[in-house]
Amino acid sequence: ILNVEQSPQSLHVQEGDSTNFTCSFPSSNFYALHWYRWETAKSPEALFVMTLNGDEKKKGRISATLNTKEGYSYLYIKGSQPEDSATYLCASTQGGSEKLVFGKGMKLTVNP
Amino acid sequence: ETGVTQTPRHLVMGMTNKKSLKCEQHLGHNAMYWYKQSAKKPLELMFVYSLEERVENNSVPSRFSPECPNSSHLFLHLHTLQPEDSALYLCASSQLLAGGKETQYFGPGTRLLVL
C-alpha cells in the first residue's frame, strides 16, 4: 500500500518568514512526485512534477527538491506572503500508474 | 481557472434521493477522474476513465455510479447515499502519455451533504 505522509499538518507564520515542509513516500517503484497548492473554495493548482533523484524545481518564491532514494521531497517558500496561505498537497505515483496517492496536506497560514 | 468545471458546487440530499454530479473539461484531455475528500483524510481516488473506458474502480460502493459519455464529460450518479458519504467530490482530467508524470487538472469540487 502506497502511503504518503506530510509534515507538519499545519503551520502559522508571519509575513516574511521562510517555510519548508516535508513529503515522504515509499521509495520502491517510485515514478513521480506531484505538488499542488489548494486555496479555500478553489481548485487545487499544480505546482511541480518531479521524477529524477536530485530534481529541483522553482516557481517564483516556491521551490521543491526530490530525494527518491530516501523517499522525501521538501517544499520551500521564501519570504511568505499572506497570499501564500493555502493547503499544500503532495502526491506520488508508482510504476507508471496514473493513480495519484495524496498526503493529507499541509495547511499554511501567513499572518500579515 | 483550471479548465475543469463542476456543477453543482453545493448539494444537499436525503438518503432516498437520486442526484448527479457533473464535470466538464475544456482542455482536450483523454483521461478523467473522480476523487473524494472526507474531513481530515487525504484526497482519495474513486474512478478513472481513460479514452472513455473505466480503468480503475477503487472499491467504491455501488451507490456511486460513474458515467463518461465522451472525453469532455464525466458524471457521478448518486443513489441512496449514507450520511458518511458527505464530503467534497473533486473531478480532474489529464492527458495520459506515460502514466504517472502527467499533471492532473482539478475542478473546484462539489460539497455534498447527505441528511
Among all chains, which residue has been given the C-alpha cell 515514478? A31
Q: How far is B6 from chain A (nearest CA, A)?
A: 10
Q: How far is A78 from chain B (nearest CA, A)?
A: 24
Q: How confident is the model at residue B56 (pLDDT cuts 50, 70, 90)?
A: confident
pLDDT of residue B59: 85
Nearest to B42 among A34, A41, A102 (CB): A102
Q: What angle do CA A33, A36, A40 make, to 5 degrees?
A: 155
d(CA B31, CA B52): 7
Please tell me if residue B60 touches chain A, with a CB cutoff of 8 Å: no
pLDDT of residue B2: 77
CB contact under 8 A, B101 and A4: no
> Chain centroid to CA B61: how far?
14
Nearest to A98 among B2, B31, B108 (CB): B31
Please tell me if residue B94 touches chain A, with a CB cutoff of 8 Å: yes
CB contact under 8 A, A98 and B96: yes
Shortest CA distance from A92: residue in chain B: B100
C-alpha cell, B102: 502527467
The share of chain B scoring above pLDDT 90, in percent, equals: 79
d(CA A78, CA A61): 5
Nearest to B2 among A32, A45, A95 (CB): A45
Mean pLDDT to the nearest integer, B14-26: 95
CB contact under 8 A, B50 and A97: no
* Residues in A touching B102 (Cβ below 8 Å): 49, 98
Instruction: Tell which residue, B102, B90, B89, has the closest CA to residue B31.
Output: B102
Residue A96 has pLDDT above 70, yes or no: no
Q: How confident is the model at residue B28 (pLDDT cuts 50, 70, 90)?
A: very high
Question: Measured between alpha carbons, how far is residue B48 from residues A9, A86, B45, B92, B98 in Å?
Answer: 28, 27, 8, 9, 15
Q: Would you tell me how many other CB atoms lie within 10 Å of the CB of residue B64?
A: 19
Calculate Rg over the CA atoms of chain B.
13
Note the pLDDT tens digit of each residue in A44-62.
Answer: 999 999 999 999 999 999 9
Mean pLDDT to the nearest integer, B64-87: 95
DSSP per-residue string spanning A51-63: -STT-EEEETTEE
Tell me the pairing of strands B10-13 and B18-25: unpaired
Note the pLDDT tens digit of each residue in A2-37.
Answer: 689 999 999 999 999 999 999 999 998 889 999 999
DSSP per-residue string spanning B10-43: EEEE-TT-EEEEEEEE-S--SEEEEEEE-TTS--
